[in-house]
Amino acid sequence: MKSTIIGYPRIGNLRELKFASEKYFRGEITAAELEQTAKEIRLYNLNLQKDSGLDLIPSNDFSFYDGVLDTAFLLNAVPARYTALGLSPLDTYFAAARGYQGEKGDVKALAMKKWYNTNYHYMVPEIDDDTEISLTGTKPFDLFAEALENGVKTKPVIVGAYTFLKLARYKGQKTASDYIAQTAAAYSALLQKFSALGAEWVQFDEPSLVKDLTADDIALFKALYEKILPGKGSVKVLAQTYFGDVRDCYKELCALDFDGIGLDFIEGKQSLALVSANGFPKEKVLFAGVVNGKNIWRNNYAATLDILDTLKRHTGNIVLNTSCSLLHVPCTLSNETKLDASYKKHFAYAEEKLAELAEIRQIADAAQPRETEIFRSNAALHSEPRSGRNDAVREKVAGLTAQDFVRLPAFAEREKIQKERFRLPLFPTTTIGSFPQTADVKSARTALRKGELSAADYEKLIERKIAECVALQEEIGLDVLVHGEFERNDMVEYFGECLDGYLFTEKAWVQSYGTRCVKPPVVWGDISRAKPMTVRWSVYAQSLTEKPMKGMLTGPVTILNWSFPREDISLKESALQIALAIREEVLDLEANGIRIIQVDEAALREKLPLRKSDWRKDYLDWAIPAFRYVHSGVRPETQIHTHMCYSEFADIIRDIDDMDADVITFEASRSDLTILDVLKENNFRTEVGPGVYDIHSPRVPSKEEIKAAIAKMKARIPAEKLWVNPDCGLKTRGNAETVPSLQNLVNAAIEVRNENS
């Protein structure tokens, strides 16, 4: 049996790519220096994979920002507003990724969206009626050549034609099917080129195939590959799917002239049944995703062998694979120096998953796999009892009843009471919570961790930052203030560190978008609140101002979605345990004089199952109640806000309203406020703050731009229900752009207010 992976993390073991890119953005290093760092990371990863014994090593899984954006550049699908800037190719690429504001012009970034059900974000390609898709880029070929020079004939990885066309946004009259011929020609040309270069395999990533497919989708998929595959020459083509199963197109996938099909046996609930029921084509290779690419737990070899045994009954051509790219797990356990060995032995990050693949390959080829020493020690690990059980918490969760999830009085009555209480102006202005995490805060946290700064001095610094932040907001004229979240490294990690039942890591970074990485905490056992987590900071901040200070918490669904969950405790159980803990914090804040509490559910949309038939039973049926439970115990006059990073919730709009928050703020600017129509059609009840500008980009929005956004909002939503705010937290921004941006925001709101009265 052979082995491969779908892709490897590209940020570097110690986030070298992030730091080099950010230096480049600040003009501190040259493009050549950035390229050099990138090359070092690629070669390091290449050698690591080679040494692990992996048979097929991917290339072109490297990216300076995002693989979908790379594909747009490869295929000439780059909006003219970026190329027209006249920047270098690398800077044109970064302009599309991050926006550009400088002497050559002023353009916004492309839209950014969540990558299926992960916390990774991709850049949405824009295709206009005059876009001519053709093979113009060279990156996959260059990286193939680079690896070859270093002794490895790799398996180039490219976003597949179907997935690319499905992810793109069509600006004109034309739609995906109008681009079949051009796109197929470009992918054919790519295969011919790889064939000429001597590549053995090319991997086309087609995760869009695991979604619910319509007849038109299937027709598009077939039409593309019926045109692409005849031109493949001597290269073998792998159709790689992940994040689910391909129940809607398994037959078509098998019938097309692919040489390999990659299926996900971890998230693909029906993958095994599909193969069992329909068989697997003799002439093709089955790339079996058996090692979880999304979680950090050691693989259970007994379960994996069971899958392989079933598969072996249908095909003799199996390549062991991960379930998805390892992009979604941290690089290496070797930098986790503080985690006790008793925990660490249960973990496998990307590097350790390479070793697992090698072990599985070894035992799968053995005459008696279950008699091997490797198998035995893995079985022993998995049968060890795990610490961290908390029966009191489990009993509390089991004892929850329907009324625990209902807040009284009903929304309309609360809205009245709260309008009376707060007497905010029309279009009240606020922010999402965090303010720029400047170098002083980050280095203080590092010093605290290293024991070079006392806890008391650290806390003094945080208080000073809060005081400055409150003063700044008053000066700018915002209506509802925040404390700035300076005490938090991250909105989930912080709570993970405060809650019992969690483990946290040192260097387990995972890319979220571009140079932004997160360090998801690990659910180790049952979860509970040991002590108040945020109260002292919120109370201190409120003491500095007459204006309402929002208490700022992360909601249970988001904490869980951005953690590495246990595989043997249900998500529902963990979510409700976290909800119990966050509810205690909410009540504590309220008891301490905090009048507005925001419970962020930034990641609620993200883990919505990819298939509609799974939405309710697998997710919404516990996720919405978990949020409701968090705030159902507060007084009517306490205003509950929530925030979501990702406004693509048109399909679950009722469920979002049903979270029963008083106000929801969300990302909308990168999608041109398209969500507003949906809110209007559905008579959305909750007050809303659709983000009026994009904080993922360093550009400063003008007052006019923001007024235009408010006008759009006003045209669809009753003015009394509207809030004005940026589309997400400001922590990744600098003060230089934040202050003028917020000033423009406040001035815009004031002007619209005056025009309104």
| Residues identified as active-site | 696
Question: Residue 602 interacts with Zn ion (CB under 5 A)?
Answer: yes
Per CB under 6 A, the list member of 210, 397, 533, 645 interacting with ligand GLN is: 645
Which residues, listed in sequence order, are joined to residue 658 by a DSSP beta bridge?
none
Minimum CB distance to ligand GLN smaller for 608 or for 752: 608
Question: Residue 553 interacts with Zn ion (CB under 5 A)?
Answer: no
Minimum CB distance to ligand GLN smaller for 5 or for 594: 594
CA 519 to chain centre: 12
Per CB under 6 A, the list member of 729, 737, 738, 748 interacting with ligand GLN is: 729
Tokens of 607: 């883990």
Return contacts of 171-179, CB within 8 angstroms, 24+ apart. 171/126, 171/127, 171/128, 171/129, 172/128, 172/129, 172/130, 173/129, 174/127, 174/129, 176/220, 177/216, 177/219, 177/220, 177/223, 179/127, 179/131, 179/133
**Residues 110, 697: Cα–Cα separation, whole Å:** 10
Question: Residue 643 interacts with ligand GLN (CB under 6 A)?
Answer: yes
Per CB under 6 A, the list member of 115, 731, 733, 746 interacting with ligand GLN is: 731
From ligand GLN, Zn ion, none, interface partner of 190 (C-beta below 5 to 8 A by class)? none
Question: Residue 675 interacts with Zn ion (CB under 5 A)?
Answer: no
The interface region with ligand GLN, picked from 321-329, 446-454, 625-633, 724-732 by CB under 6 A, is: 724-732
Question: Residue 645 interacts with Zn ion (CB under 5 A)?
Answer: yes
Minimum CB distance to ligand GLN smaller for 190 or for 578: 578
Strand 318-322 and strand 2-3: the pairing is: parallel
Report the nearest approach of ligand GLN to the CB of residue 690 (Å). Answer: 14
Report the nearest approach of Zn ion to the CB of residue 35 (Å). Answer: 32
The interface region with ligand GLN, picked from 69-77, 497-505, 566-574, 723-731 by CB under 6 A, is: 723-731
Strand 499-503 and strand 522-529: the pairing is: antiparallel
**Residues 627, 605: Cα–Cα separation, whole Å:** 13
Question: Residue 664 interacts with Zn ion (CB under 5 A)?
Answer: no
Report the nearest approach of Zn ion to the CB of residue 645 (Å). Answer: 3
**Residues 721, 428: Cα–Cα separation, whole Å:** 10
Residue in the structure block whose two tokens are 């029921």 = 277
Question: Residue 641 interacts with ligand GLN (CB under 6 A)?
Answer: no
Question: Residue 742 interacts with ligand GLN (CB under 6 A)?
Answer: no
What is residue 289's three-state secondary structure? Answer: strand
**Residues 651, 292: Cα–Cα separation, whole Å:** 29
Binding mask 559-598 for Zn ion (x = CB under 5 A): ----------------------------------------
What is residue 62's three-state secondary structure? Answer: coil
From ligand GLN, Zn ion, none, interface partner of 415 (C-beta below 5 to 8 A by class)? none
Rg, Å, the chain Cα set: 26
Minimum CB distance to Zn ion smaller for 224 or for 730: 730
Question: Residue 697 interacts with ligand GLN (CB under 6 A)?
Answer: no
Minimum CB distance to ligand GLN smaller for 291 or for 596: 596
Per CB under 6 A, the list member of 135, 290, 491, 527 interacting with ligand GLN is: 491
337 burial level (CB within 10 Å; 0-12, 13-18, 19+): exposed
**Residues 68, 728: Cα–Cα separation, whole Å:** 23
**Residues 671, 113: Cα–Cα separation, whole Å:** 9
Minimum CB distance to Zn ion smaller for 95 or for 728: 728
Per CB under 5 A, the list member of 96, 161, 557, 728 interacting with Zn ion is: 728
Tokens of 521: 């905490």
Minimum CB distance to ligand GLN smaller for 486 or for 622: 486
Residues 6+ apart with CB under 8 A from 549: 470, 480, 481, 482, 483, 538, 541, 542, 594, 595, 596
Would you list the DSSP string of 261-279? Answer: EEEESSS-TTHHHHHHHH-
Question: Residue 552 interacts with ligand GLN (CB under 6 A)?
Answer: yes
Question: Residue 407 interacts with ligand GLN (CB under 6 A)?
Answer: no
The residue ranges that bind Zn ion (CB under 5 A) are 602, 645, 728
The residue ranges that bind ligand GLN (CB under 6 A) are 432-434, 485, 491, 552, 600, 602, 643, 645, 728-729, 731
